[in-house]
Chains A and B, each alone.
Chain A
Amino acid sequence: MVPVNARKSGQQTTVRFLNPKGGYSVLLEGRPSRTIEQLPGPEVLYLPLVSRRFTFSEVLVKEGEQVAAGQVLARDPDRFSLPLLAPQSGSVRLKAAENHIVLENLAASPQRVHVADERPSHAPRESLSVGEKREKLLALGAWQFLCDAHTGELPDPSGTPRAVLVSTVALDPFLARGDVQLRERLTDFARGLEHLQSLLEYQPIYLVMPEVQSALASEVREMSRGHAWVQRVEIPLRYGMDSLSVLARRLGLMRDPQQPVWALRTEGVFAIDNVLTFSLPCTERIVSVGGPAVESPVHVRAVPGYPLKAILERRVTEEYVRVINGGVLSGEAVGSDQLGLDAECSGLTVVPDHVERELLAFVRPGWNRRSYSKCYMSSLRKPFVERLTTALRGERRACISCNACEEVCPARIMPHLIHKYLYQGALDLAERARVDLCVECGLCSFVCPSKIELRQQFVDAKEQIRREAEEAASEGGEAV
């Protein structure tokens, strides 16, 4: 597969997606503003031992132990011993909260690099080998920002990628936005890209940016022109298109376990720069705090373990809300047992958790109901943001074959067909219909008028297929 419409500009090739099928932008109230707030120093940190991809089951510290900032608290033994670093100095409490390492008596936050005065404009030459650099990234917490574009798993630091995707686009309505992070830090970003290139041999780096005209976009284009080894990819601002797996497929980088495609987002490039330029541990993230129930949605600079309550208490005044770790379309609801930001969190979304029942709702004109369909008068209006709650907005029904799920699917699979196969219990047929290509963006479930939980069904099916494959492999191993 050849990328669509490759255009030469100077020495560099820009790839644009023509006629991109699928995707849909959900406009919702509560989008975080462009400002980044620095949170006040916390009194205590609750570091969750489990996040979306990682389980830090190998705890390396003892109850009451005094730890320094950047010290390894725990490791994930199944993922290349990825470390969980102490964001600040403090004393350890292991039993204070289940599945958390609690840090108390915290020292003041270490000075951050982003305010440092001396920032070289290019990546300094280092004597480290590629392998040593990757080890350093792993040890100082930057490696966790990388993932396999197709599987989302942590890549092997000793592996060789076929290509690297760097995406500056985050289109889930409430996730930390690339433009917010890039503003004023473009030099750091360029330096991070140079470091990234030094980790590779000859493999291409694709820089993904939105197909927009803005001062920042022009600056990014200008910056990328100076780096001939970067291929710029411009994508439409439509949610789903920014999925790393979709991007890889569109670029003709198909799944191949022997030659993975590595991917990282904006903050990953900053993390690499942080480690390889300043040799500092990556213990701070930019986290969006948004959603319809947040009074002044912002981005905050926070360390893992920062108490969720402290982040939300002044910003959320409604009584019944659902806090979501991640975006509103694909994140997981935060359970009452999670007390602090986990190591991977890039956004907290807060949605009112109640249902307002309307009289004869289905016959109303719907001037204020934004819908993917054109069944409401609102389709005569210009796009507008809407305040949404966790209401299902309808009853669960059988599939009526409206095809809306297929229209919005950025992965170009047929959700309605896979649903029917799964309804029949035919997992093998669902596998043949390529449920594995689902990127879990949630758009199919969002638009489904029958309110079928397509995304969750596909997530479960993929998990079951993976388990069965593992069992088959282990049985095969035993037989041998």
Chain B
Amino acid sequence: MKWLLRFFERARPHFREGGRLRGLRPLFDAVENFFLSSSLRTETAPHVRDPLDVKRFMFAVVVALLPCVVAALHFFGLRVLVMILVSYAVGGTAEVLFAIVRKEEINEGFLVTGLLFPLILPPALPLWMVGVGVAFGVIVGKELFGGTGRNLFNPALVGRCFLAIGYPVAMSSNWIGPGSGFIGRLTEYVDASHLDAITSATPLVAAKQGTFADVSDLFWGNVSGSVGETSAFAVLLGGVFLILTRVANWRTVLGTIGSFALLGGVLHHVAPDTFGPAGWHLLAGGLLFGAFFMVTDPVTSPITNGGKWAYAVIIGAATVLIRNLTGYVEGVMFAILLGNIAAPVLDEVAIRFRLRRLRNER
């Protein structure tokens, strides 16, 4: 490790004021801080600090996503890896360019966005679309707002929303039938040219036509759908990890799933022929993935606990309504973006209540 430290110390002057590569300072700092922990020291009280930093916080989400990545590799093949690489490469470049232009540090939030984004796309989507989508998500969804911590919308969802509106056919047709057996498609590279593997119907599409996929297939993920969303089991594994590490707030997860199940249950009870059972809907599509990995994004969700409950209920209810009462088969993406819009207002209301109580304190 000492050689690495020496390398960075020797290279650092080139990237500082007066150095030839000073413009690339954000990139140098990001690489240095990726390999070696921060060299900064406290200046004022408290003189010691907790070990948790943003990088570790984001890395916890990456770890939580690993079961979904493994499941995706199993069901949809090695192309998933290429999609992830494209997402990291293009999104990372956009992030670095922005940081260099703005002369600010590179945000760790991209560790999550870069992995989250390919997992919510159809598995046979052209790779250039993956690149365009992630670049749009990072630039418009995050950087234009000022970077991680200041973004209003979840960047991965902004990217997906852009693709869904810009390329609706590609986004609703590039589904791959899941691999079966112990190995699945782990050794295959399946893209849109493999016509035999391409399927048009995800469980939610089929459900609109009255055919409901088997619940156990939904649970294990043996169905077509977005790259990382199909296996409820893998999502739950990662999701429970996130809640246990307290990176995800249990209130938002419970509120989303609870309100979704409640309203879905009511609709099913009223008209069982028109609306599918709530339990089935819970496992189908991206609801669980969204509830654990998107709704819980601390930056784009309300910070107050009261706001979190309201935000989660809005998302859960909106998903049910969009899925069941509109022409869309899936509603999680729009529901979460709607929730993101509402989040600051919900916080504002909750904070006003808190401040009113605090005002009377002396």
Cβ of A17 within 8 Å of any chain B Cβ, yes or no, is: no
A412 to B147, CA, bound (A): 29
Partner of B47, one of A328, A395, A399, A433: A328
In the complex, the answer to whether A413 meets B358 with C-beta atoms within 8 Å is yes
Q: Give min CB distance, B142 to chain A, whole Å.
A: 11
Q: Given A371-B50, A413-B358, A455-B44, verify A401-B149 contact (CB < 8 Å).
A: yes
Closest chain B residue, CB of each to CB of A26: B48
A355 with B57: CB separation less than 8 A = no
CB–CB B54/A400 < 8 A: yes
B209 at interface, CB cutoff 8 A:
no
Contact A392–B54 (Cβ < 8 Å): no
CB contact list, A406-436 vs B, under 8 A: 406, 412-414, 416-417, 432-434
Among B37, B44, B359, the residue within 8 A (CB) of A393 is B37
A390-B41, A393-B38 known; A375 and B299 CB under 8 Å?
A: no
Pick the contact of B54: A354, A447, A449 (CB < 8 A).
A449
Give the residues from 45 to 80 in chain B that come closer than 8 angstroms, CB to CB, to chain A.
45-57, 59-60
CB <8 Å contact, A446 and B50:
yes
Kindly list chain B residues whose C-beta atoms are within 8 Å of the C-beta of A456: 44-45
Is the CB–CB distance between A447 and B50 below 8 Å? yes
**A373–B39 CB distance below 8 A:** no
Of B241-249, B283-291, B309-317, the one with at least 4 CB within 8 A of chain A = B241-249
The reply to whether the CB of A153 lies closer than 8 angstroms to some CB of chain B is no
A360-B245 Cα distance, complex, nearest whole Å: 20
| Contact between B36 and A357, CB atoms less than 8 A apart | yes
A434 to B107, CA, bound (A): 31
Contact between A401 and B299, CB atoms less than 8 A apart: yes
CA distance A403 to B252 in the complex (A): 14
Binary per-residue interface labels of chain A (328-359) against chain B in the complex, 1 for a CB within 8 Å, 0 otherwise: 11111100000000000000010101110111
Residue of B38, B40, B49, B298 most packed against chain A (CB within 10 A):
B49
| Residue A201 interfacial (CB < 8 Å) | no
Residue of B nearest to A442 (CB): B46
A372 touches B52 (CB 8 A): yes
Cross-chain contact of B149 among A28, A332, A393, A399 (Cβ < 8 A): A399
* Given known A-B contacts A397-B105, A413-B358, A359 and B56 have beta carbons under 8 A apart: no
Which residues of B have CB within 8 Å of A371?
50-52
> Whole-angstrom distance from the CB of B106 to the nearest CB of chain A?
10
Choose one: A256, A395, A432, A453; the contact of B33 (CB below 8 Å). A395
Name the CB-closest residue of A to B343: A401
A80 to B145, CA, bound (A): 53
Alpha-carbon distance A440/B45, docked complex (angstroms): 9
* Distance between B140 CB and nearest chain A CB, rounded to angstroms: 18
B107 touches A394 (CB 8 A): no
Q: Is A200 an interface residue (CB 8 A)?
A: no
A400 and B148: CB pair below 8 A? Answer: yes
Contact B105 A256 (CB under 8 A): no
Q: Which of A154-162, A294-302, A361-369 forms part of the interface with chain B? A: A361-369
The answer to whether B345 has its CB under 8 Å from any CB of chain A is no
A403 touches B298 (CB 8 A): yes
- B49 & A394 in contact (Cβ 8 Å cutoff): yes
Q: Which residues of A contact B48 (CB under 8 A)?
A: 26, 28, 328-329, 351, 388-390, 446
Which residues does chain A contribute within 8 Å of B301, judged by CB atoms?
Answer: 401
Known A403-B303, A434-B361; contact A455-B46, beta-carbon cutoff 8 A: yes
Given B45, B52, B109, B303, which contacts A447 in the complex, CB threshold below 8 Å? B52
Q: Which of A332, A375, A432 is B52 in contact with, Cβ under 8 Å?
A: A375
**Chain A residues positioned under 8 Å from B37 (CB to CB):** 355, 357-358, 361-362, 391, 393-394
A369, A373, A393, A442: the one within 8 Å of B45 (CB): A442
Q: Is the CB of B45 within 8 A of A256?
A: no
Q: Is A398 an interface residue when CB atoms closer than 8 A count as contact?
A: yes
Report the bound CA distance from A440 to B44 in whole Å: 12
Interface flag for A376 (CB, 8 Å) = yes
Contact A397 B40 (CB under 8 A): no
Question: Is B271 interfacial (CB 8 A cutoff)?
Answer: no
Considering the complex, which residues of chain B in the window 113-167 have a beta carbon less than 8 Å from any beta carbon of chain A?
Answer: 146-150
The tally of residues in B whose CB lies under 8 Å from a CB in A reads 55
When the two chains form their complex, are residues A400 and B298 in contact, meaning their CB atoms are under 8 A apart?
Answer: yes
Check if B351 is an interface residue, CB within 8 A of chain A: yes
Q: How far is the CB of B143 from chain A (nearest CB, A)?
A: 12
Q: How far is the CA of A256 from the CA of B355 in the complex (A)?
A: 20
Contacts of A358 in B (CB 8 A): 36-37
Give the shortest distance, in Å, between B124 (CB) and chain A (any CB).
32
B102 interface residue per 8 A CB criterion = no
Q: Which of B34, B47, B246 has the most CB of A within 10 A?
A: B47
Query: Contact between A397 and B56 (Cβ–Cβ < 8 Å)?
Result: no
- Whole-angstrom distance between the Cβ of B251 and the nearest chain A Cβ: 11
Say which residue of B5, B53, B303, B358 sits within 8 Å of A362 (CB atoms). B53
Contact A432 B36 (CB under 8 A): no
Q: Which of B4, B37, B40, B355 has the largest count of A CB atoms less than 10 A from its CB?
A: B37
In the assembled complex, the CB of B362 is this many whole angstroms from the nearest CB of chain A, namely: 4
Residues of chain B with a CB closer than 8 A to A440's CB: 45
Decide: A329 near B45, CB < 8 A? Known: A362-B55, A450-B149.
yes
Inter-subunit contact B47/A400 (CB<8 Å): no
B182 at the interface (CB under 8 A from A): no
- Please determine whether B53 and A394 come into contact, CB atoms closer than 8 angstroms: yes
Check A355–B36 contact: CB distance below 8 A. no
Interface pair A433/B41, CB less than 8 Å apart? no
**List of B residues within 8 angstroms of A255 by Cβ:** 362
B108 at the interface (CB under 8 A from A): yes
Kindly list chain A residues whose C-beta atoms are within 8 Å of the C-beta of B42. Answer: 390-392
Q: Which of A329, A357, A397, A449 contacts B46 (CB 8 A)?
A: A329
Q: Are B146 and A363 in contact (CB under 8 A)?
A: no
| CB of B168, distance to nearest CB on chain A (Å) | 33
**Chain B neighbourhood of A332, CB < 8 A:** 45
**A374 within 8 Å of B (CB atoms):** yes
Residues of A near B38 (CB, < 8 A) are 355, 357, 391-395
- A445 is an interface residue with CB less than 8 A from chain B: yes
Closest to A357 in B: B36
B189 → chain A closest CB, angstroms: 28
Chain A min CB distance to B215 (Å)? 32
A449/B53 in contact, CB under 8 A? yes
The distance from the CB of A1 to the nearest CB of chain B, in whole angstroms, is 9
Return chain A residues, CB-CB under 8 Å to B303.
Answer: 401, 403, 406, 416-417
- With a CB–CB cut-off of 8 A, which chain A residues contact B101? none
Give 21 CB contacts A-B under 8 Å.
A328-B46, A329-B46, A330-B45, A351-B48, A362-B56, A374-B244, A375-B245, A389-B48, A391-B38, A391-B42, A391-B49, A393-B53, A394-B38, A394-B40, A394-B53, A397-B54, A398-B146, A412-B358, A446-B49, A448-B50, A449-B54
Chain B contact residues, CB within 8 Å of chain A: 1, 4-5, 33-57, 59-60, 105, 107-109, 146-150, 244-247, 249, 298-299, 301, 303, 351, 354-355, 358-359, 361-362
Q: Which 8 A-B pairs have the closest CB atoms?
A: A394-B53, A398-B149, A361-B37, A442-B46, A254-B362, A392-B40, A255-B362, A388-B48
